[in-house]
Amino acid sequence: MAVYENENAFVADYVRLTDEYKVKVGRYIKNLLKLQRAELGVTAKLHTLDLKRKRENANATAGYVCNFCGKSEDEVFRMLVGQDKSCICDECANICREVLEEISAEEK
């Protein structure tokens, strides 16, 4: 894998690609940007949680907590629980669904 020290080196390699690979590179970069935006959105929501609620969730012995945002089942509309007791709330699941739909639309 090449690591580019500047934009000109990247552009020089890019112009040598076939049109087919240029399309693939474009899709790849778009998907990376979408994932980055989604990650930033989730991270921003995580930072809005106050420390008290995080401590309460960490100390809770009963109930479910979303493995993505840390909200308890009392703070969300629905909590999806896997066989291994891993959890995702409806809000985080919707964010994941939106990202996957965008990626699927780009691949068509």
Written as six digits, the tokens of 76 are 């969300």
Contacts of 10 (CB under 8 A, 6+ apart): 4
Residue range 37-85, pLDDT digits in tens: 777 776 666 555 554 565 565 555 458 899 999 888 888 899 988 888 8
Decide: helix, strand or coil at residue 106.
helix
CB-based contact 30:22 (threshold 8 Å): no
The pTM assigned to this predicted structure is: 0.43
pLDDT of residue 107: 78
Contacts of 30 (CB under 8 A, 6+ apart): 106
Alpha-carbon torsion, ordered 30, 32, 34, 38, to 10 deg = 180
Res. 36: pLDDT tops 60: yes
